[in-house]
Structure 1
Amino acid sequence: MSNLPPLNTDTIWAILNEELDDAIVNQLVWHYLGYRYDEASQTWNLSEVVDDWAEKYPEPPDFIANRPPTVKLTRSIPKENKQLLKENLGFKGYKLGEFGPRQTRRATAANWLLNYLESH
């Protein structure tokens, strides 16, 4: 996961515009949640992961393919930052009929990452 793009607004837009592969989007969220893969032991190091995430997901979840971890991600964004994509980037959302659960989950990941960027 050392080849991740930098966390900046260009990367957030690349997520929203589907220019980054789903695997990279997941890896970005995992990284900023604190998940680290230990190549030597071939296990996930959870020492930097918040307890409730580490307990529920001892291995990082696929946020794009699965709804429950995305719901947890959404709930972890403070209320005042739920609209960061719209407020800070001017993201208008996806057009009706041109999006599905995958795009919605990518937008959630993008908003969570933007929240992380704003708060750190």
Structure 2
Amino acid sequence: MTDSLELPPLTTDTIWAIINEEIEDDLVNQLVWHYLGYHYYPDTQQWDTTHVDPYWKEDYPQPPNFIESRPATMKLTRSIPDENKQMLKETLGFKGYKIGELKPRLTRRATMANWLLSQMRILKLI
């Protein structure tokens, strides 16, 4: 498990790196977990969910692997405010993947990228 100090900064460059598969899946998961409020303590090998919204904590007392879990990714999509659902397209100009590229892993990464971009707007980072 990576400590949050080693996470990439939440910037549009990081969002593009997620979309372009320049950041490993595990690190993308960890970035989302961090902004959901999950914190891992390596010394005790325990998750602290003190800052996790009950909306997440109830279904996921430990953070889900969004790349592997369709239900978790769907929940992530539903948690994006309506006005932020098209941010990849509207803010970054992301045109989506081509038909031959559409794979669950890539679409889930795009969902995670859009959720993170939405968090950037909520946190007033953009």
Percent identity over paired residues = 63
Superposed CA deviations along residues 4-61 of structure 1, whole A, max 9, x for unmatched, are: 1000000000000000000000000000000001223211000010012111101100
Provide the TM-score with structure 2 as the length reference. 0.93
Q: Does 1:79 align with 2:113?
A: no
Letter in 2 for 1:49: V
The structure 2 residue matched to 1:43, chosen from 35, 46, 66, is 46
| 1-structure distance, mates of 2:101, 2:66 | 20
What's the RMSD between the two structures over aligned residues?
0.7
TM-score by length of 1: 0.97
Corresponding pairs, count: 120
SS at 1:44 equivalent: strand
Which structure 2 residues correspond to residues 11-26 of structure 1 after superposition, within 5 A? 11-26=14-29
CA distance in 1, matches of 2:19, 2:41: 30
Q: Tell me the amino acid that sits aligned with residue 27 of structure 2.
A: I
Partner of residue 113, structure 1: 116
**Distance in structure 1 (CA, Å) of the matches to 2:55 and 2:84:** 21
Structure 2 residues not aligned, in runs of 5+: none
Say which of 34, 50, 54 aligns to 2:57.
Answer: 54
Gaps of 5+ in 1: none
Moved over 2 A (4+): none
Secondary structure of the residue that 1:37 maps to in structure 2? strand
2:107 corresponds to 1:104: yes
Per-residue deviation, 1:99: 2.1
Separation in 2, partners of 1:49, 1:36: 9
For 1:18, the aligned partner's letter is E
Q: Match for 1:5 among 1, 4, 8?
A: 8
